[in-house]
Amino acid sequence: MRVKQVVAALTAAMSLTLAAPAFAQETREFSVSTVLSDAFPWGQAAAKWAELVNERSEGRLTLTVYPNAQLVSGDQTKEFSAMRSGLIDMAVASTINWSPQVPELNLFSLPFLMPDEAAIDAITQGSAGDKVFAAIEKRGVMPLAWGENGFRELSNSRQAIQSPEDVQGLKIRVVGSPLFLDTFNTLGANPTQMSWADAQPALTTGAIDGQENPLSVFDVARVDQVGQKYLTLWHYMADPLIFGVNQKVWKSLSAEDQQLLRQAAIDAGAWEIEKSRNELADTLVAIKERGVAVTELSPEQHQAFVEATAAVYEKWTPRIGAELVAEAQAAIDAR
């Protein structure tokens, strides 16, 4: 009897030992890179994704968000390469920042392609958006869903901008994209690529005259406090966000967890898009109340900018893919 008890005890102990590693593998933690914190809609999208994944997996899957491009030492243009190589597990990322590695993403930076939010949706939710996602996947990252950083508007410290002539000679900070340089050079400005950390003191001292960013960034970062007293709502390009996963991480997940992660991204993206759009009117009121002179272009004034940047459109269309650009235009026309 005693021998049987000992054998039973040993068998139970061995079964517990064997079960422990299997139990430990059920809980996994992943890094998520973002450029902005949850003070901005961009960071809120990542936080919502993490919240939904944790809730729906009952804590088995944990997404830890690293804002301010921490995982690439502040250089957001390196995020896609770091993610593809496995240094970053996941990201809620800008089409602009990934465009050097995925040329098709320059579609969204074509000047004045998308006149309104319905035009953004016509691209991202249609066949053109599917082709963009296929291009991202082909280059080593699995895209799951869309979010929104918003239309980028133009501000400066010198004068109200109502026509292309008003932009001439202005020193404008732009992000690290050749297409942005082409757009502002074509308008006769003096564009300068620099990080946002470098841009703020440069705006304060007058080393540069202006910058372009979504209204949410202008508001939360208090760009008016660094001399930006003139703001033009010109909607020259919009920057959708992309929820993405490293391919190796994606393939390591079960089909059920892949679906959980994807649906959580879709839901977080839809939540963030609705929230950021609903807040735009109040954001604009707050900006005006701080003494910023806001210029809203008439249709004729807007068209003047469209015509002034037509050469940029023509130059970049073959680089992006003429078929993709045509498909996006058709979707916008049919919206």
Tokens of 306: 């469209």
> Above 80 in pLDDT, residue 261?
yes
pLDDT of residue 26: 74
Tokens of 132: 């963009």
> For 249-278, what is the mean pLDDT?
98
Confidence of residue 13 (pLDDT cuts 50, 70, 90): very low
Percent of the chain whose predicted confidence (pLDDT) is above 90: 88
pLDDT of residue 229: 97
Which single residue is written with the structure tokens 């932009």? 167
> Distance of CA 84 to CAs 42, 89, 143, 214, 248, Å?
21, 9, 12, 27, 9
Which single residue is written with the structure tokens 């940047």? 309
Question: What is the distance between the alpha carbons of residues 134 and 156, in angstroms, rounded to a whole number?
Answer: 38
Tokens of 62: 């944990």
**Model confidence over 146-183: pLDDT tens digits?**
999 999 999 999 999 999 999 999 999 998 899 999 99
- Contact status, residue 216 vs residue 276, Cβ threshold 8 Å: yes
- CA-based nearest residue to 94, from 172, 196, 220, 200: 196
**Model confidence over 118-142: pLDDT tens digits?**
999 999 999 999 999 999 999 999 9
Residue ranges per structural domain of the chain: 27-333
pLDDT of residue 195: 84
- CA-based nearest residue to 64, from 79, 39, 47: 47
Q: What is the dihedral of CA 272, 275, 281, 285, to 10 degrees?
A: -90
Percent of the chain whose predicted confidence (pLDDT) is above 70: 93
DSSP-H helix ranges across the chain: 2-24, 41-56, 79-85, 95-98, 117-124, 127-138, 164-167, 178-186, 196-205, 215-220, 247-252, 255-289, 299-308, 310-320, 322-333
> For 247-272, what is the mean pLDDT?
98
> Above 80 in pLDDT, residue 14?
no
> Above 70 in pLDDT, residue 274?
yes
pLDDT of residue 2: 45
* Fold type of domain 27-333: D-Maltodextrin-Binding Protein; domain 2 (3.40.190)
- Residue 107, classed as helix, strand or coil, is helix
Give the mean pLDDT of the chain.
93
pLDDT of residue 226: 95
Tokens of 238: 């919009």
Confidence of residue 196 (pLDDT cuts 50, 70, 90): confident
